[in-house]
Chain A
Amino acid sequence: MRRVLLVALILCSCGRSTAGRPDAPTADRIVSLLPSFTEILFAIGAGDRIVGRTTWCDYPAAAREIPNVGDGMPPNVEAVAARKPDLVVLYNSGPNVTAAQQLERIGIRTVLLDMNLLDDLAPATRRLGQLTGLEQRAESLAASMDSLLDRPRPPSTASLAFVVWDNPPIIIGRGSYLDQLAALAGARNVFHDVAKPSAQVALETIAARNPRWIAVLSDSAQPPAFAQRREWRSVPAVREGRFLLLQGSLFGRPGPRSAEAVRRLEALLAR
């Protein structure tokens, strides 16, 4: 009995790792379930092979023409399967592992990739290059992504706090993509000591750490609504209107445009 179980386990694990098989055919019908993957696939010239994307995949403009299979949190497995993909690319997270198993069970190849930090960009790009047979273009893109990380860091002078929600105040800490962007752009995240991608803090902590800038992901040109709230005016940067309004599609995700995001942030900080 135990042996049968063992064999079954091995068979299962083989089934799950089809994506890694060197002889697997290149993917022609891809469902991309993360905006970062969609952007990378377009950047390496596989955009026309994407047959399904998430609601959040809004770049490049051509991505919007691709059928939407939902918000991807968690993926709607039937909607994904209905696009008859030969490869589904998912962000590596708990609910997505389950979805990937379900898709594998009906014979659809899946691959789970990490995409939390700048460091994840080049490996994911190379992997997508292998899977699409576009290794060369993927390699040159991956090399440019690596060089962004290797770039000598400018001295951190200006300080900032990323505020992703105002009540309760949620900020971005160390080990997050935005913290890395800030460092590359020469700014010091005042919550770099918080070893969590995002965390709830007391408003008085933000006031006491007194960042020069409050950075918010926002597609609007107006300061966020909390700027008018009385308690937030105890934070000097809010009182004096020092906001960095960062467009969500460019700043909210690692991708081929991360270098552009760093340059834009540098320009904003130099004001």
Chain B
Amino acid sequence: MKWTLLIAAAILALAASVVLGPASVPLGDVLRSDIVWNLRAPRALLAFLVGGSLGAAGASLQALVRNPLADPFLLGLSGGAGLGAVIAIALHLPGPWALPIAAFAGALAALVLVYRIGLIGGAALDPRILLLGGVAVGAFAAAVTTAIVSLADAAELRNAFLWLWGGLSSASWDSVWLIALYAPIPLLVLLAASRPLDLLALGEEPARYLGADVEQVKRRVYLAASLLTAAAVAVSGVIGFVGLVVPHIARLAWGHRHRVLLPAAFIAGGALLAIADTLARTVVAPRELPVGVVTALIGVPVFTLLLRRWSVA
């Protein structure tokens, strides 16, 4: 029943984001329209894939660091991506893909740095240090970014922040294919780690007694979730709340077993972002809202309602 509802919601969200938009396309022409085929359809699919990736990444990171506040962007990746994008603009790197590639590289650099900091106490990845390292690296990257923006002369640097919070405007079949081919690998790595992630919730010691290779799982989960997030930020900028709220909603409905939680968080995240982006494009048309505003406006009340139901029950 829960699954039927979720899948129906996802299909409805995708259909709505293809049919609805600021440009009026008669229902009969939907399949022939260039606007629908080349702009709306890839944007809807990209929203679904990015939202899903963020949902799954958030769910596994929350289990890894055993902190309900964990968000895929908390571990320094948005700071690194922003720095990469600003450097690309400041150096006038040419080409239509310069910004996304630079942002991805920046996120990867932050990922490696945070990972290295996480290993500071020896061979074991310490989740608490990982979390602190992520916040520190993110703050440092943001400071360097702001310094470059205020010192360099290029007027377009101010737009780097627009890009970083840009949302799904740059969706095309190119970016859909890119994510569709890339995301399954880290997603499968996360899914394969679902049993040890369940055990990790009991604490590292008990998990080890129950036969989980804790160190390997932590490394794999951290790298896979971060690689998912780095790709998401490269194609759609930083989109808040999906990776934080969706895993909690999914956990309230599906419980703590990651083999079901991760797919549920993926589909719910995808549906939420597809709905949010449709609203962002249509409610104030012809203008557009930043999609992160809409994800927060929908996600937070739904989450609060569920929390209430959960606490009462």
Contact = CB atoms under 8 A, between A and B. Distances in A.
Contacts of B99: 167
B288 A200 contact: yes
Interface string A15-57: 0000000000000000000000000000000000000000110
Interface stretch (A79-87, A175-183, A223-231, A263-271): A223-231
Contact of A202 (B22, B150, B159): B22
A193 to B, nearest CB: 7
A192 to B, nearest CB: 11
B286 A205 contact: yes
Interface string A192-209: 011010011111110111
B235 to A, nearest CB: 10
Contacts of B159: 165, 170
A231 B166 contact: no
B286 A225 contact: no
B266 interface: no
B220 to A, nearest CB: 33
Interface stretch (B38-46, B58-66, B68-76, B209-217): B38-46
A162 interface: no
Interface string A165-193: 11111100000000000000000000101
Given A229-B172, A233-B38, 8 more contacts: A202-B23, A204-B35, A204-B281, A205-B23, A205-B285, A225-B95, A231-B39, A234-B35
B290 A234 contact: no
Contacts of A55: 153
Contacts of B163: 165, 167
Interface in B150-169: 150, 153, 155-156, 159, 162-163, 166-167, 169
A202 B288 contact: yes
Interface in A234-260: 234, 248
Interface residues of B, number: 37
B253 interface: no
B153 A234 contact: no
Interface of B: 21-24, 34-35, 38-40, 42, 94-96, 98-99, 150, 153, 155-156, 159, 162-163, 166-167, 169-174, 281, 285-290
Contact of A207 (B39, B169, B285, B288): B39
Contact of A169 (B156, B169, B172, B289): B169
B261 to A, nearest CB: 32
Nearest to A208: B23
B96 A229 contact: yes
Interface of A: 55-56, 71, 165-170, 191, 193-194, 196, 199-205, 207-209, 225-226, 228-231, 233-234, 248
B288 A193 contact: no
A112 to B, nearest CB: 22
Contact of A228 (B21, B95, B155, B285): B95
Contacts of A199: 287-288
B31 to A, nearest CB: 16
B174 A230 contact: yes
A234 B162 contact: no
7 contacts: A167-B163, A170-B159, A225-B94, A225-B98, A229-B96, A231-B42, A231-B169
A-B pairs, top 3 by smallest CB distance, nearest first, are A208-B23, A231-B172, A230-B172
A202 B95 contact: no
Contacts of B34: 207, 234
Contact of A203 (B39, B150, B155, B287): B39
A196 B288 CA distance: 13
Given A168-B288, A234-B34, A228 B96 contact: yes
A234 B38 contact: yes
Contacts of B174: 230
Given A230-B172, A231-B42, A201 B155 contact: no
B21 A204 contact: yes
A167 B96 CA distance: 11
A205 B285 CA distance: 9
Given A55-B153, A231-B172, A248-B155, A204 B166 contact: no
* Most chain B CB within a 10 A radius of its CB, from A193, A194, A202: A202
A147 B157 CA distance: 36
Given A55-B153, A200-B287, A204-B21, A234 B39 contact: yes
Contacts of A225: 94-96, 98
Nearest to B289: A200
Given A208-B35, A234-B39, A200 B290 contact: yes
Contacts of A229: 96, 170, 172
Nearest to A229: B96
Given A168-B290, A208-B22, A234-B38, A203 B96 contact: no
A234 B171 CA distance: 12
Contacts of B167: 168
A83 B295 CA distance: 49
A169 B144 CA distance: 26
Nearest to B286: A205
B287 A201 contact: yes
A241 to B, nearest CB: 15
B39 A168 contact: no
A19 B162 CA distance: 38
Contact of A194 (B39, B166, B287): B287
Nearest to B38: A234
